[in-house]
Each structure stands twice: as C-alpha cells, then as structure tokens.
A and B are shown apart, each in its own frame.
Chain A
Amino acid sequence: MKIVLKNLTKIFPSRNKKAGEEVIAVNNFDFTIPDGKLIGLLGPSGCGKSTTLYMISGLQKPTSGQIFFGDDDVTELSTENRGIGLVFQNYALYPHLTVKQNILFPLQNLRGEDKMTKQQMLERAYEAAKLVQIEELMDRKPSELSGGQQQRVAIARALVKMPRVLLLDEPLSNLDARLRLQTREEIRRIQKETKITTVFVTHDQEEAMSISDMIVVMKLGVVQQIGKPQEVYDSPENLFVAKFLGTPPINVFEGEIKSGKLYIGEAAVLETPGIDDQPVHVGIRPEGFILDDNGPLKCKLNNVEVMGRDVSIVSTHTASQNPQVRSIIDADNKIDPDTEEVRFALKPHKTFIFNKDTEERIFIEEK
C-alpha cells in the first residue's frame, strides 16, 4: 500500500507562552512512498523525521496537509484504526508481559475478518519470533533481555499482525555496533520477504543508505532531497546533503570560479564551462582524489593510514573548511609517508560546486 504525504506540516506551539515562538517541526512535506518499499527518513536530531513518522502513525496530528494510505484519506483517522505496526525507539515492550504475551497482544485485538483462533495466534506469534530468531526467549520478561533481543521482540510485535505499513523509529540506536549491522540486515530481509511498506527513521546515514530503497534527507523540518541512496550520494543537491552523506565525510574547500575554471587557492583544479565567476564551496568526496605528482591540488601531508584495501591520506590545505583533508585511494598507489607535500588531481564526478550563499548545487554542464 502506498502512502501519500500531501503538504504535510506540523507546528509545535512554543513551550514558553510569553516568547510566543513556534517551532516548525515539519514544513510542507510532499512525498509518495511507493508500495512495498523501504524508505529511510534521515537527518540530524530536530530535523522533523520522527515527527513525520508519528504523523504517519497517527500518534501526532498534522497542523495542515493530508496523509493517504492507498487512496484513503487517513489524516483524521486515529492510530487505532490505521492498522499499522510501529517499533518505538525505546521499544515500549509491556514490562509485565512475557515475550510471548507481548507478541500475542496485537493479535488479540484483531477484529472482524482478521480475528483469529487461539491456535492461529500462537502459530503466528511463533512464526514472527522465528523471523527475528527469538523463539527460545518466548517465556522471558523484557527486563531479562538484552537491548538487541528487546529490539527484535519489538519488531516481532509490530510485524506479527502483518500490518499494511511498518514504521520504525531509530530502531537500532540502542544496539552495539556488531548487533546493529546484523539487525539492519535482518530488517531488510524481513521487509523484502513480507513486502510491507516500511518507513524508518535514523540519524545514521550509513544505516539508511545500506538498507533503504529510497532515502529522504531532512533538515530543520524541510526536505532536502529524496532519491535512491546511491543517486543522492552521487548527486547531492546542496551542501548539507553532500556533507551529511558519506563516511569519511566529504571535504569542503573555499573556492572560486574564474573565467570558466574552478580555483582552490591559487590552483585551477577543474574546467567549469558556462558557470559565472563567483566565490563557491567545493565539495570533494574522499574517493574523488587521484594521486598525481603533477596534480594541481597541493596539500601538506600529515600522515598515511593503511587500511588494507585502501589507503587513507590525511593532509591539510589552507582553503579547506575541515581541519583535515581526507582522501581515500587504492592501496596499489605507493606513497612515501615522509614527503612534505602531496599532489592530487580531482575526479570531476566526485567534485561538487555549491553557491556560496544559498549552498545550492551548481551543476557543471556535461560535455
């Protein structure tokens, strides 16, 4: 079932009434979530991603705009009547119920065509438990489980009634690194198997990129860019998106366009035909550097980190906005760690130019 968000806006009144300031948590969000896809809502804290999720769930009411499930307008419909599954950030497992009782709980509320017999419920519960590999934990209480186990129970509870829409709020934030990796693969697998339209919220770009069919990057309530993860990474529409996606993060330089060329410092690093002369921000992905003794970009070498497959070169440049310039090149390239200076050529498709004031992308015309 597709989900349509139309001009969705949420304004929180100010806590301090005298100040009278309102907080626009979500501003005019327009998006159609395609049926059966996994969508990652991504952004730093306070960007409105969770608010958007809670508006889809019905736990929060939009200030204006509409939400459709399929063709039905559900904007005014309360959560109980939307038939969704939701995994809370802190799981919200009922502490007095066992894992089994927690998973059975949503089934016992089903009515009408979905109503089940006790036997069917148990079967369903065990199937869901199997899916997230917690069958052995069915008789424990949530307090006796680790964070990762609780999280799987929460997913099982959200999944067990096979909702039309599954929503996940920072579902991996409480897990350790290894478990996080493992669980996000599981979520992806389960979603693919069940083909439930899934929206999940995270501040971790790597997480979102790795499992989403599409990502939505948000900042201060405003959608910055929507697209397939690789597309957004390869072609960020503004400096914020460029900076937010990618590890290690993108390198940003002060630059200038002068008579069709991009200058970083004194060096002309790229041809930029058709762009007016102006000061700009230049973003270069770490993998956008080519080690080249005759390259135009001269940096002062700090150190070289060998990471097996790749080599990470840490250097400095006066025009860099980050304290360090970090580039990743193939390990086949040999570099003497004792040299003072290192020179790079740039890959044009990994180099992005942004307007100095609006920070919007300035595209270089393809030849």
Chain B
Amino acid sequence: MVDSKQQWKAWIYLAPAIVLLLLFTVWPIINTVSMAFLEGYSGLTKVGGETTFRLGIGNFTRVVGHPDFRQALLNTVLLCVLTVPISTVLALLIAVALNSIKPLQKALQTIFFLPYVTNSIAIGMVFAAMFNVIGSIGTRRPMIVSYGVVNDIIRFFGGNWVNWINSGSEYWANMFVMVVYIVWNALPFKILVLLGGLQSINKQYYDAAKVDSTPRWRVLTKITVPLLSPMLAYVVITGFIGGFKEYTSIAGIFGENMGPAHDAGRMNTMVGLIYDSLEKDNQGGASAAALILFGIILVVTLINLWVSKKRTHY
C-alpha cells in the first residue's frame, strides 16, 4: 500500500500544518528552552544585538528570587488549592442532584452550563460590580454611597459589610472574590463531565443498593463516588491545570492592575508574571518562568494521576 506516490501525497496534505507547527510550536519549544538556560540571550536582540550570552541557570535563580514570583506562586497555588476542591465537590453534588430528578432536568442542566459560554473579562466586570463599594472608604470617616449588592445582602442578614476589592481591601477579601468567581466559572465543565459519568454508571448498582436498603448518603459515598472516580480524577486534573494557568479571571475583576488600587500586582499569577516579563523585554526570565510553570503542572498532574490510579483501580 505504501508506495512513493502515496507518501508524496500524504506530505502535501500535511504541509500547511507542518509548516505552521515548525514555526509556532517546534521552534518555540527549542528557543524558549534555550533562552531560559542562556543568560543574556534574547529572541529580540539575537538578530544584531549583543552576543555575550552564556549557559547557566541565572534566569531561574533571578526569577525564583524575585518577590513578585513568590507572590504570584502563592496566589496561584492558593487559588488552585481552594477552587479545585470546592468546585469539584459542588459540581458533584449538583450533578448527583440533577441525575436524580426527572422534571426540569434538561432546563436546570442548561442553566448550570450557562457560565461556560461567557467571556471571562466581561463577566469578571459584573462580579466586580457586585462586590464594589462606591464611596470614600480609605478616609477616617467613610462616606459610603453604595455598598454593592453582595454587601447589601450581607447587611440584610445582619452581617457587617466588607471592603472586598476596593482600595485598602485586605488580601483574604480579594482572594475570596477570586475564589467565588473562579468556582462559578469552573462549575459548568465539571457538572457536564460528571453528569455524563453518572449517566454511564450501570443502573443495576443502584438497584442492588436499593435491595440492600442503602441510605442515600451511603449510596453517594460508597457507590457513586468510587464508581465516578475516573471522571473525578479527570475534572481534578484539568481543574489543576486550568488553575495554574489562571489569569484572565483576575484581569476581569481587578483590571490590568492585577490587584486593588492601593496594591497593584498583588493578585498576579504565574501566567501574569510571564507576560509582565515579556513586556519588560526580559525574554530569558519569561522563558524560565514558563518552564517552571510547565514543571509544576507536570508534577501536579503526575501526582494526581498516581493518586487516582491508586484510588480508582477496579
């Protein structure tokens, strides 16, 4: 079957993809890795600029030593550790609930998928509006015009209002808003996958559980969750990967300041850091940061796979 004519034809079909891949995928891998390990080397300057670069891990040490990096790493890890479990558990509960009802199931399923088809920046602006306080807060005698709808709801139930995202707000308040937004954003995909998984579980296991008079919570923890564990592992892994690449949702809420007005950059993430370096023409630093990010994602994914393999084999 494999004659030279077919060979030749196959490469014609592949040609456009190959050319583009060589240019925008293969070359970047080579170049980014080299830039990371070559000090003073830059894709921009290499054409006619300085040639005094040498092999070394200086880019890495500089990036890791930078306080911005530590802040970004802390933010990213915190966001992952907080949002992935919360959104997975919520999505699981919603998917199980959806799977157990008949009337309105399709309609509710559609509602829960809605946040998926949104623009992170645009809806981030809506969340900002909901948490925003209008007035002078930083002064000794604050003049509040509007507390924002979230604070209004808290006040309605007798709680104290919080400065969520405005100038002078605290780190944990910023983090809380980010977690709420990212969880809201992450739910649809997880619900979709988990519901699909639930619907493919053999109904006989549930019939057997009924015959054995199994209480509801025990069905959930002893039957549903273990049988769903491959899907759960999938959403957790993709959740972590997505979490480590978080950037636009923060830009949506805080704008390009990546933080409240009094402390710009406080909510910056790993990806944000890479772009900042890039805009500062620090290609080596950006490359090193990108490789570190890749390494973290790889390790986290491998750990997840390892754990889920130990927990799901049957």
Contacts and interface: CB of A to CB of B under 8 A. Distances in A.
A–B proximity contact (CB within 8 A)? yes
Interface in B207-262: 207-208, 210-215, 218, 222-223, 226-227, 229
Given A90-B204, A141-B314, A78 B210 contact: yes
A79 B210 contact: yes
A85 interface: yes
A92 B215 contact: no
A96 B314 CA distance: 5
B314 A80 contact: no
A86 interface: yes
Interface string B81-99: 0000000000000000000
Q: Which of B211, B213, B222 has the most CB of A within 10 A?
A: B211
Contact of A88 (B208, B218, B222, B227): B208
Contacts of B205: 92, 94
Contact of A59 (B210, B223, B229): B210
Interface string A147-180: 0000000000110010000000000000000000
Contacts of A109: 212-215, 218
A358 interface: no
B200 interface: no
A68 interface: no
Interface string A41-53: 0000000000000
Given A96-B314, A143-B314, A86 B214 contact: no
Nearest to B208: A92
Contacts of A83: 213
A94 B223 CA distance: 8
A141 B208 CA distance: 17
Contact of B214 (A80, A85, A143, A158): A80
Q: Which of B212, B214, B223 has the most CB of A within 10 A?
A: B212
Chain B at the A interface: SS class: helix
Nearest to A86: B211
B6 interface: no
B207 A59 contact: yes
Contacts of B100: none
A93 to B, nearest CB: 8
A95 interface: yes
B202 interface: yes
Interface in A43-95: 57-59, 78-81, 83-86, 88, 90, 92, 94-95
A60 to B, nearest CB: 10
Interface residues of B, number: 19
Interface in B173-218: 202, 204-205, 207-208, 210-215, 218
Contacts of A58: 210
Contacts of A141: 314
Contacts of A90: 204
Contacts of B207: 59, 79, 86, 88, 92
A80 B211 CA distance: 6
Contacts of A97: 222, 226
A105 interface: yes
Contacts of A158: 211
A295 interface: no
A80 B227 contact: no
Q: Which of B208, B215, B229, B312 has the most CB of A within 10 A?
A: B208
Nearest to B214: A109
A58 B227 CA distance: 24
A106 interface: yes
Nearest to B204: A92
A106 B212 contact: yes
Contact of A80 (B213, B226, B312): B213
B227 A95 contact: yes
B213 A96 contact: no
A96 B226 contact: yes
A84 B211 contact: yes
A80 to B, nearest CB: 5
Contact of B213 (A94, A106, A143): A106
A143 B314 CA distance: 7
A96 B211 contact: no
Interface string A12-53: 000000000000000000000000000000000000000000
B211 A85 contact: yes
B306 to A, nearest CB: 18
B213 A81 contact: yes
Given A59-B207, A92-B204, A105 B314 contact: no
Contacts of B227: 95-96
Interface string A234-246: 0000000000000
A125 to B, nearest CB: 13
A86 B208 contact: yes
Nearest to A60: B207
A306 to B, nearest CB: 46
A94 B226 CA distance: 10
Nearest to B211: A86
A171 B212 CA distance: 18
B228 to A, nearest CB: 10
Contacts of A105: 212, 214, 222
B210 to A, nearest CB: 4
Interface in B277-314: 312, 314
B207 to A, nearest CB: 5
A95 B222 CA distance: 11
Contacts of A157: 212
Contacts of B202: 92
Interface of A: 57-59, 78-81, 83-86, 88, 90, 92, 94-97, 105-106, 108-110, 141, 143, 157-158, 161
5 contacts: A58-B210, A90-B204, A109-B212, A109-B215, A158-B211
Interface of B: 202, 204-205, 207-208, 210-215, 218, 222-223, 226-227, 229, 312, 314
Given A94-B208, A106-B211, 8 more contacts: A81-B213, A84-B211, A88-B204, A92-B204, A94-B205, A94-B222, A94-B226, A97-B226
| Across the A-B interface, the 10 shortest Cβ-Cβ residue pairs | A92-B204, A106-B212, A79-B210, A96-B226, A96-B314, A92-B208, A86-B211, A80-B213, A95-B314, A109-B213
